[in-house]
């Protein structure tokens, strides 16, 4: 007898071939077990979180009763700038004034601050000082064979 082209496997099944290699019940049991384990772990994590939160709350000291202790205090610096662009402009103006004016750095040692333009003129007219001489090279050491 020749088999009809649509009947591979299940006798009497009119809907086509049936795959008997997959265990659908086993897959559903695995997924259910995985879901159960996930829920148990999440419940344990919630319990541990509640336990730790309670222990932290018990260790936290009560707020002080004094009124000045409850006042909000500004922490010690560095504090945020209320107007950083104005601060930067004032800083750059102070730097520019320092670069463009004459002043004593150390009067006793006769060290003065010279404006940048004048310092460039002095260096252009006199030139840079000569660098110190190089030390003589160290003698080569002989190596033993």
Please report, in tens digits, the pLDDT of each residue of the chain (145 residues total): 445 554 454 455 556 666 677 888 999 999 999 999 999 999 999 999 999 998 888 887 776 677 677 777 777 777 778 898 999 999 999 999 999 999 998 999 999 999 999 999 999 999 888 889 998 888 887 776 6
φ, ψ at 91 (rounded to 5°) = -65, -45
pTM score, two decimals?
0.34
pLDDT on residue 35 = 98
Query: How far apart are the C-alpha atoms of 17 and 8, rounded to whole Å?
Result: 5
pLDDT on residue 61 = 76
Bridge partners for 113 per DSSP: 103
CB-facing half-sphere around the CA of 100: CA atoms within 13 A: 6
């Amino acid at each position: 007898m020749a088999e009809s082209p649509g009947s591979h496997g299940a006798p009497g099944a009119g809907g086509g071939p049936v795959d008997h290699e997959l265990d659908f019940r086993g897959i559903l049991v695995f997924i259910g077990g995985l879901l159960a384990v996930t829920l148990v772990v999440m419940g344990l994590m919630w319990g541990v979180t509640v336990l730790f939160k309670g222990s932290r709350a018990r260790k936290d000291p009560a707020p002080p009763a004094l009124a000045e202790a409850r006042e909000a205090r500004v922490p010690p610096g560095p504090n945020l700038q209320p107007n950083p662009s104005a601060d930067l402009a004032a800083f750059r103006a102070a730097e520019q004034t320092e670069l463009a004016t004459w002043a004593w750095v150390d009067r006793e040692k006769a060290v003065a601050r010279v404006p940048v333009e004048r310092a460039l003129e002095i260096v252009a007219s006199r030139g840079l000082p000569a660098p110190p001489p190089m030390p003589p090279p160290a003698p080569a050491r002989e190596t033993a064979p």
